[in-house]
Amino acid sequence: MSEPPFGLKPTLAGALVTLRPITAADADTIDRIVREDPEVARLTGSVHTSTEQVEGMPIEDLRAIYGRWATADDRLVLAVVDQATQEMVGEVVLNKWGEDNRSCSYRTLIGAQGRGRGLGTEATRLVVEHALTTMGLHRVMLEVYDFNPRARHVHEKVGFRHEGTGLDARFFDGEWIDVHYMAVLAHDLPAEVTA
């Protein structure tokens, strides 16, 4: 078995965002984003109703987790830093590496301060390009809840295609919600991503 490709922790820069390796101290920002922004809690699956509060965990425990992730070789967690303010507005994560298939999963979390300005789109482009070109992966996949069309649109702009739908895969606010499965392949990257 070869080493997972997540051992190297790059800094990736675009016009709007810089993606830098996560640190234990970044747990404080992520904790604040999730607790203060009900939209993030809903869209990341952290809660099961729109009135539920995120329970979270003691901040010391969360810092320890982020400290482990900073050096982990089973995932790549990068902080999304807004170039305009130099503030961390979220994170992007590559994980669940499939060695034989050269694939992994992707997830993102962008707080209210980072939404609506193209930061999430650029962060996704940067990390997906890194995964499929620099890391040599063939496929990056993700899940999008049916009530998050904005995320689906962002991922389609970066080259992700809808592969299928898990019907009634999530229970939220007393209703079953579909989950859309999307992926991008190395040979399907849009030209502006690989240019």
Q: For domain 12-194, give the CATH number.
A: 3.40.630.30
- Domains of the chain: which residue ranges? 12-194
**CA–CA distances in Å: residue 77 to residues 80, 116, 153, 184, 191:** 10, 22, 23, 19, 25
pTM: 0.92
pLDDT tens sequence for the chain (195 residues): 466 679 899 999 999 999 999 999 999 999 999 888 888 878 877 777 777 777 778 899 999 999 999 999 999 999 999 999 999 999 999 999 888 899 999 999 999 999 999 999 999 999 999 999 999 999 999 999 999 999 999 999 999 999 999 999 999 899 999 999 999 999 987 665 544
Q: Quick check: 124 and 159 in contact, CB under 8 A?
A: no
| Cα–Cα dist 33/66, whole Å | 15
Mutual orientation of helices 26-36 and 59-71 as an angle, nearest 10°?
120
